Amino acid sequence: MSKRQNILTGVVAGAVVILVVLVVFVVGIHIGRNQQFKRYWPFWERRHTYRSFVPRKLNGHGVFGRIESLSESSMVVEEKDGALKTVLWDEQTRFIKNHDNFSAGELVEGETVVVIGKPSEEGDAVVARLVRVMGRRKDL
């Protein structure tokens, strides 16, 4: 082979490698954007991460904000936009602070909480299933 053919072979091989890398990149972007194939290998860890953090059957209702006032079985939480939400709890509610369980009597006004639960029967409050205390924040 002549020197010219060696150069041409190298250029063609480089172009093929670049094309394969580009196709794999574009397919990866497509799969990531559409979030398809969630049960297969690249997405497998997302199905099993932090299972114990959120109890099952919560239906996605919740509140995030600072505790404004407390009573024996409820609290009022001020959200970031200034809206006030009433949160009720019962014996099934879990309270977590610093990765440890605690009781409702240990809640303090001014602490930032994340509440996950379901709407009350009247629809004007949230019945908490999980209350997680994040600490005190003054900028909320």
pLDDT tens track of the chain, all 140 residues? 677 788 889 899 999 999 999 999 988 887 777 665 555 555 555 554 444 444 455 455 788 999 999 998 899 999 888 889 899 998 889 999 888 888 888 888 999 999 998 888 887 888 999 999 987 655 54
- Rounded Cα distance, 30 and 35, in Å: 8
pTM: 0.55
Q: Give the model's pLDDT for residue 102.
A: 86
